[in-house]
Amino acid sequence: MVEDRWRDEEASGFEGRLGECVYGSRLLGADPGLVLHGGGNTSVKTDFIDITGRRIEALYVKGSGWDLASIEAEGFAPLPLERLRELLALDSLSDVEMMRELGAARLDPGAPMPSVEALLHALLPHPAVQHSHADHIVTLTNTPDGERLVREALGAGVVIVPYVMPGFDLAKAVAEMWPQASPDAAGMVLMNHGLFTFGPDTRTAYRRHIELITRAERWLAEEAPMSSGGGPPLPKVDRTVLADVRRRISQAAGRAMVVRRHTGGEVSRFAARPDLEHLARRGPLTPDHVIRTKPLPMVGRDVEGYADSYREYFAEWRGRARTEPVMLDPAPRVVLDPEMGMLTAGETAQAAAAAADIYHHTIPVLERAEDHLGGYRALPPGDLFEVEYWDLEQAKLRRAGNPPRLAGTVAVVTGAASGIGRACAAELLERGCAVAGFDLDPSVEQAFAGPSWLGAAVDVTDHLAQDEALNRVVERFGGVDIAVAAAGVFGDSAPIGGLDMEQWRRVMEVNLDAAAALLAGVHPLLMRSPVGGRVVVIGSRNAPAPGKGAAAYSASKAALTQLARVAALEWATDGIRVNIVHPDAVFDTGLWTEELLAARAAEYGMTVDAYKTRNLLGKEVTSDMVAGAVVELCSDTFSATTAAQIPVDGGHPGAV
What residues act catalytically? 553
Chain centre to alpha carbon of residue 407: 11
Pair 28, 209: CB distance under 8 Å: yes
- C-beta neighbour count of 612 within 10 angstroms: 20
Cα dihedral sign for 260, 266, 272, 277? negative
Pair 195, 231: CB distance under 8 Å: no
Interatomic CA distance for residues 564 and 135, integer angstroms: 53
Pair 342, 261: CB distance under 8 Å: yes
DSSP 593: -
Interatomic CA distance for residues 63 and 44, integer angstroms: 13
Pair 436, 411: CB distance under 8 Å: yes
Interatomic CA distance for residues 378 and 269, integer angstroms: 21
3-state helix, strand, coil split of the chain in percent (to 5) is: 45, 15, 40
HEC profile of 200-257: CCHHHHHHHHHHHHHHHHHHHHHHCCCCCCCCCCCCCCCHHHHHHHHHHHHHHHCCCC
Pair 337, 261: CB distance under 8 Å: no
Pair 480, 529: CB distance under 8 Å: yes
Cα three-residue angle 414-471-438, rounded to 5 degrees: 15
CA distances from 332 to 198, 237, 299, 305 (A): 37, 20, 10, 11
Q: Is 1 helix (H, G, I), strand (E, B) or coil?
A: coil
Q: Is 12 helix (H, G, I), strand (E, B) or coil?
A: coil
Phi-psi category of residue 225: left, alpha or beta, with phi > 0 → left and psi -120 to 50 → alpha:
beta
Interatomic CA distance for residues 275 and 159, integer angstroms: 34
Our CA dihedral for 619, 625, 626, 629, rounded to 10 degrees, sits at -120
**326 contact partners, CB below 8 Å, separation of at least 6:** none
- Which residue spans within 269-347 are E strands per DSSP? 298-299, 334-337, 341-346
- Residues facing 299 on adjacent strands: 336
Q: Are strands 258-262 and 341-346 parallel, antiparallel or unpaired?
A: antiparallel
Interatomic CA distance for residues 581 and 40, integer angstroms: 49
Phi-psi category of residue 415: left, alpha or beta, with phi > 0 → left and psi -120 to 50 → alpha:
left
Query: Which amino acid is residue 22, in one-letter code?
Result: V
Interatomic CA distance for residues 599 and 550, integer angstroms: 12
- Residues facing 578 on adjacent strands: 535
- Full DSSP string of 91-134: S---HHHHHHHHHHH-SSTTSPPBPTTHHHHHHSSSSEEEEE--
